[in-house]
Amino acid sequence: MKLFSIITLLLQLVLIAWAKYYGYMMDMALTKLSSASESEVLKDLVMIKHYQDLDSYLGLATGVVWILFILVAIFKKVLNTKEAQLTIYVPMIASLVAGMF
């Protein structure tokens, strides 16, 4: 169960980082949109939509992995272990901290 906890924790942190990265890319594309020429506006809007979708899907994938881990931990009755608690709480804190930037 320790290995499963570590793998799911790392997977969640990587997914959170990618989601925040694509959110940042979307913000940069929005900033660039104000100074874009007419011919590039449609291309930039498509990229903004692409980055927004990636951000949403990666956030959803993080949530699914988190819920999957909680269900496995409940069924295996290991919620009180240190690894399980880290895997449950660290992604929430990481997401909150990353959301501040």
Output the CA–CA distances (angstroms, integers) from residue 57 to 50, 80, 98, in the order listed.
11, 30, 17
What is this structure's pTM? 0.85
Residue spans per domain, the chain: 2-99
Q: What whole-number distance in Å separates Cα of residue 51 and Cα of residue 54?
A: 5
Can you give the pLDDT at residue 6?
93
**Under a CB-based contact definition with an 8 Å cutoff, are residues 70 and 92 in contact?**
no
For 74-101, write each residue's pLDDT tens digit: 999 998 899 999 999 999 999 999 888 7
For 2-38, write each residue's pLDDT tens digit: 899 999 999 999 999 999 999 999 999 999 888 888 8
Examine the pLDDT at 39 and tell me if it is beyond 90. no
